[in-house]
Amino acid sequence: MSRIGKAPITVPGGVTLDISKGNLVTVKGPKGELKQQADPDLEFKLEDGTLTISRPTEQLRHKSAHGLYRSLVANMIEGVTNGYTITLELIGVGYRCANTGNLLELTLGYSHPIYFYVPDEVKLEAKMEKGSPPTIVLESHDKQLIGQVAAKIRAFRKVEPFKGKGIRFKGEVIRRKAGKTAAS
C-alpha cells in the first residue's frame, strides 16, 4: 500500500468537498474554489470530515495514481484554507522590480525592461526596500499555478554560480563555483 496514498485527509470546517461522477473533485473554501479530474478507477470516501482514497488493484498504474491524487487533493484543501506564498529575491546591481496591478516590470541587466502579466488568480506584490534586495511576493490558493508563475519569473534571469546574481527563491542556497585562477 502506498504510504502517501493511504494517509487520510482531514477536511477542515468551512471547506466543502464534492466528488461527482467520473471523479471530478471540487473543493470550495474561504480562499477560492479548485477542481481536479481524478483517475476514474480510484474510490473516494468522505466520512466524518475525513477523506480516504483507495485503489482497486495493485497495478503500477493504480499505485502511482493513488499517491498522486491524494497529494493533489490535500494540496487543494490546504490552498483553499490557508493559501500559498512564494517570495523571490532579485540579487544583482541595478536589478529592480515594480508592479502595476498584475503587470510585473523587471529590470534585470538586459537592454530592455521585461514586462510579465501574472494571472488574475495570483496576487502580486513587488517590494523595493533600502538595505534589502528587491523582492516579489506571490500569493494564491492554487499551488500548481503559483509554482508555474514563480518558475517563469525565475527563468528570466536564473542564478549564475560564479557571482550568485539572478532571481532566486527566498532562502535558496546557491552552490558557488570558484572563478579562474591566474597561471603561475
Q: What is the CATH number of the domain that holds 159?
A: 3.90.930.12
The C-alpha atoms of residue 50 and residue 43 are separated, in whole angstroms, by 14
Order the strands of the 24-29 sheet from edge to edge: 16-20, 24-29, 32-37
- Looking at residue 181, its pLDDT comes to 81
- Looking at residue 49, its pLDDT comes to 87
Q: Is residue 180 a part of any domain in this protein?
A: no
For the chain (184 residues), the mean pLDDT of every run of 10, in chain order, is 81 90 90 92 90 90 91 94 95 93 93 95 93 94 95 94 92 88 70
Where a domain ends, among 81, 103, 137? 81
Alpha helices for the chain (secondary structure H): 3-6, 60-81, 143-155
Q: Is residue 129 a part of any domain in this protein?
A: yes
Domain carrying residue 57: 3-81
Sign of the dihedral defined by the CA atoms of residues 140, 88, 101, 127, in that order? positive
- Looking at residue 180, its pLDDT comes to 83
Considering the domain architecture, whether residues 73 and 101 belong to the same structural domain is answered as no
- Spell out the residues 6+ positions from residue 84 whose beta carbon is closer than 8 angstroms to its own: 78, 139, 140, 141, 142, 143, 146
Decide: pTM greater than 0.95.
no
139 close to 85: Cβ distance less than 8 angstroms: yes
Considering the domain architecture, whether residues 77 and 113 belong to the same structural domain is answered as no
- Looking at residue 5, its pLDDT comes to 84
